[in-house]
Amino acid sequence: MKYDRLIKAALAGLTLAFASAPTFAPAETLQVLRGAPSSALNVPMNRGVVVESDTPFTELTIANPTIADISSLSDRTIYVLGKEPGRTTLTLLSADGRLITNVEVHVTPDIAEFKERLQQILPGENIEVRTANNGIVLSGMVSSIARLDRAMALAERYAPDRVSNLMSVGGTQQVMLKVRFAEMQRSVSKSLSSSLAVQGTALGGDLGTSGGSNTLNNSGAVANAFGANIPASNENNGAFLFGFNAGGVEIGILLEALEARGVVRTLAEPNLTALSGQEAKFLAGGEYPVPGESDAGGITIEYKPFGVELNFIPRVVDEDVINLELIAAVSGLDPSNGINVNGLQIDAFSRRETSTTVEMRDGESFAIAGLLSDDFTDLNSQLPWVGDVPILGSLFRSAQYARRQTELVIIVTPHLVTPTRGEALALPTDRVQPPTERDLFLFGRVAADEAPQAGGAGEVARQDFSGSYGYVLDD
**From first to last of its 475 residues, what are the pLDDT tens digits of the chain?**
444 554 444 445 544 443 443 333 344 556 666 656 667 888 888 888 888 888 888 888 899 999 999 988 888 888 999 888 888 998 888 888 888 888 888 888 778 888 888 888 888 888 898 887 778 899 988 877 778 888 999 998 888 888 899 888 776 778 999 988 888 888 888 887 777 666 666 545 544 444 445 544 444 444 544 454 445 455 555 666 666 676 666 766 676 777 777 777 777 888 889 988 889 998 888 888 888 777 777 778 888 888 888 899 998 887 788 899 999 888 888 888 888 877 778 888 888 888 999 999 988 998 888 878 888 888 887 777 777 777 767 777 778 888 888 888 888 999 988 887 766 677 777 667 778 888 888 888 887 766 555 555 555 555 555 555 555 555 4
Q: What are the structural domains, with CATH classification, of the chain?
A: 41-108 (2.60.40.1080), 111-169 (3.30.1340.30), 186-258 (no CATH), 421-462 (no CATH)
| pLDDT value of position 45 | 82
Residues 6+ apart with CB under 8 A from 231: 219, 220, 221, 224, 239, 254
In this prediction the pTM is 0.56
